[in-house]
Amino acid sequence: MARMATTRRVVISTIGAWFFGFLIFFPILWMVLTSFKTELEAFAIPPSFLFFHWTTENYVTVQERSDYFHHALNSVIIAGGSTLIALLIAIPAAWSMAFSPTKRTKDILLWMLSTKMMPPVGVLVPIYLIYKSFGLLDSRIGLVFILCLGNLPIVIWMLFTYFKEIPRDILEAARMDGATIGRELVYVLTPMAIPGLASTMLLNLILAWNEAFWTLNLSTSNAAPLTTFIASYSSPEGLFWAKLSAASTLAIAPILVLGWFSQKQLVRGLTFGAVK
Amino acid sequence: MKHVLGAVGASCLLLAVPAMAETTLTIATVNNGDMIRMQGLTAEFTKKNPDITVKWVTLEENVLRQRVTTDIATKGGQFDVLTIGTYEVPIWAKKGWLVPLANLGADYDVADLLPKIKDAVSVDGKLYAAPFYGESSMVMYRTDLFEKAGLKMPEKPTWDFVVDAAKKLTDKSAGTYGICLRGKAGWGENMAFLSAMANSYGARWFDEKWQPQFNTPEWKTTLTTYVNLMKDAGPPGASSNGFNENLALFNAGKCAMWIDATVAASFVTNPKDSKVADKVGFALAPNTGLGKNANWLWAWNLAIPAGSKKADAAEKFIAWATSKDYTKLVASKDGWANVPPGTRTSLYQNPEYLKVAPFAKLTLASIDAADPNKPTVKPVPYVGVQYAAIPEFQGIGTQVGQQFSAALAGSMTVDAALAAAQSATEREMKRAGYIK
């Protein structure tokens, strides 16, 4: 009897999990399906789910009209660069706050987070003027810089919480054995923090990849990443959903694949410290 | 950090030097069919001007507006040619943000531009933008359904006729609706249609002293007629329909009438996209006998921002893209049906165009019937048919549009929507200093 109840519970929770998983995945699935429809079918009421005339003409049009690889390369450089620099700054910062906290550590952390509370559009004009003076408008380095600054508080916060979970005793033991700070960081702390680091890196990468405000406003063509590529397919007068879906599918494809391969790390990192 | 940025800035400048030999134009535009076609024909321009290269930045309309406004207000100089609407031209020209177009060339023939469109892009007699394509709005209707119901569309229908016909043509069980109109909130969405409709009912946005007018009986009649008409004869969920949604409905054969942009005419008569391509008739936008039709006036234009350092090359490009020769070029590549409409008188005298564009006559008549300088029955202090060309209008128009969209959805009464529109508009106009 007990066994049956357990089996039933497993079945129900499995169905439930699949259902919610499908629900969350549905918008992406719908986008992919729409990208294979004609413009007229993309708009059809009632919408057709699978039984429509499948076509790849939207992908052909998108390829003809814009340089996908130019935008994708920019996205990789901007998202990757900003993540790397953010980690380089955030690891020592989070390490020092986690292992040698002072009276003001909490305040500093909160102050860092508070910079995220201001809507970006509030500083658009000053940033634009600064970028103009330094010749950073429409440059990859400029976008790397702004996205790095924008995500830094989140990266530091995440790493801080992961580092805090690492028992100080282990570090003390290493110190007793005569490890220097550098060795302690490289041989003790980093291996233990890898899941946390990996998930922070991935999250930051996704945030930077999807960032649409600064990338749209500070780039024109040379540094324009995939966000501007997508934005160029929306139209005020004319049907555009199928082509827009094709462009969006192409834009999320790289990050989706990356997410798939690192799913294990991501889940482990995000739930890190949840069970003691 | 300063040094790093300085070094980066310096290296960017160094990298930019070799490119100075030829001029690179950065052109910002929207993703409309005619603009995409222009993008495709860029090579024809650079062939004639080998010292100029062209880079395109295509963005969604609202993103483009925000992007370009930031750049122009900070004199960022990122763009050399902008695609802007008739709403922006007078506002930006007065602020000194646009370079007047004085050197379009001897064979440009400014006098050939349609007078109403030319007025809309000129300030104090100077041209600040060159129209790329222009539009008004008109009634598109299904000739087969009208015939079946024994109705005949007059060339200048009244609202009474349209309301009556819409009810008769509605067959909800068959999925045909008498009329499809915009309902999606936004100053360029439902308010474009409703402002134009209100003009035909004798209403206006502001009186001569900038006092909002939503508490007048004219607006009440307008909104009541609209809401009731859509309730009786409109498609379900109309409050989220904009131009594209209605286009899809009409093309699928679900609407007996559709009042919207004249450019839609070439879409609904294109057999590739439309199921009803051979059954569409056209008529002027409805009126109530007060002397104004419910049609708007809009044009997408090319202009040069004041911050551009390549104004000469930019003007060359604009002259090319809005010239008669460009029209001929498009005709030779894609046929006369695909040339950008609504900017030049000569196009509407061209027999080849008239042959393939059954909607040409009505498009021209509609453009002629709209007057941005005298848009309403009673006098107004603003310029613009379906908008008031003041910077505050975007915000106000969208707020009012949300109230009216709510009235259409039924979550608000007409009276409540008008009262909310009135108080919101009064508040914004006080804040902006137009009224005390």
ipTM comes to 0.79
- Confidence at residue B412, expressed as pLDDT on a 0 to 100 scale: 94
Looking up tokens 């249609």 gives B193
Q: What is the mean pLDDT of residues A125-137?
A: 94
Q: For chain B, which residues score pLDDT lower than 50?
A: 1-2, 4-20
Check whether A124 has a pLDDT greater than 50.
yes
Residues B20, B159: Cα–Cα separation, whole Å: 59
Long-range residue pairs from B13-20, CB within 8 A, at least 24 positions apart, any chain: B13/A135
Any CB–CB contact under 8 A between A224 and chain B? yes
Q: Confirm or reject contact between A63 and chain B (CB < 8 A).
A: no
For residue range A240-264, list pLDDT tens digits in order.
888 999 999 999 998 888 888 877 7
CA angle B128, B130, B132 (to 5 degrees): 150
Nearest alpha carbon to residue B188 among B252, B146, B242: B242
Cβ pair A237:B73 closer than 8 A: no
* B279 close to B270: Cβ distance less than 8 angstroms: no
**Stretch A122-149: mean pLDDT:** 94
Q: How far apart are CA B9 and CA B3, in angstroms?
A: 10
User: Per-residue b/e over B7-44, b at no fewer than 16 CB within 10 Å?
Assistant: ebbeebeeeeeeeeeebebbbbbbbbbbbbbbbebbee
pLDDT top residue among A2 and A149: A149
pLDDT recorded at residue B142: 96
Rounded to 5, what percent of chain B is helix, strand, coil? Answer: 50, 15, 35
Contact list in B for residue A238 (CB cut-off 8 A) is 31-33, 244, 247, 267
The yes-or-no verdict on residue A273 having pLDDT over 90 is no
Q: Reply yes or no on whether the pLDDT at A275 is more than 70.
A: no
Q: Which residues contact B173 (CB under 8 A, 6 or more apart)?
A: none
| Distance (Å) of CA B358 to CA B74, B147, B179, B352, B364 | 46, 19, 21, 11, 12
Smallest CA-to-CA distance from B311 within B299, B303, B301, B321 is with: B303
Q: Does position A207 have pLDDT exceeding 80, yes or no?
A: yes
User: Taking chain A, what is the end-to-end CA distance rounded to the nearest angstrom?
Assistant: 32
Summarize pLDDT for A16-37 with one digit per residue, the tens. Answer: 999 999 999 999 999 999 999 9
pLDDT band of A2, cuts 50, 70, 90:
low
Contact A65 B5 (CB under 8 A): no
Mutate to test the interface with B, among A61, A137, A220, A240 (most CBs of B within 10 A): A220
Q: What is the token pair recorded at A122? A: 């509030």
| Predicted local distance difference test score (pLDDT) of residue A182 | 82
CA angle A152, A153, A154 (to 5 degrees): 90
Candidate from A128, A129, A231 with C-beta closest to B63? A231
Q: What is the pLDDT of residue A271?
A: 63
Contact A204, A154 (CB under 8 A): yes
Q: Do B33 and A238 touch (CB under 8 A)?
A: yes
The CATH code that applies to domain A67-270 is: 1.10.3720.10
Confidence category of residue A269, pLDDT binned at 50, 70, 90: low
More confident residue, A183 or A80: A80
The full length of chain B comes to 436
What are the domain boundaries of chain A?
2-57, 67-270
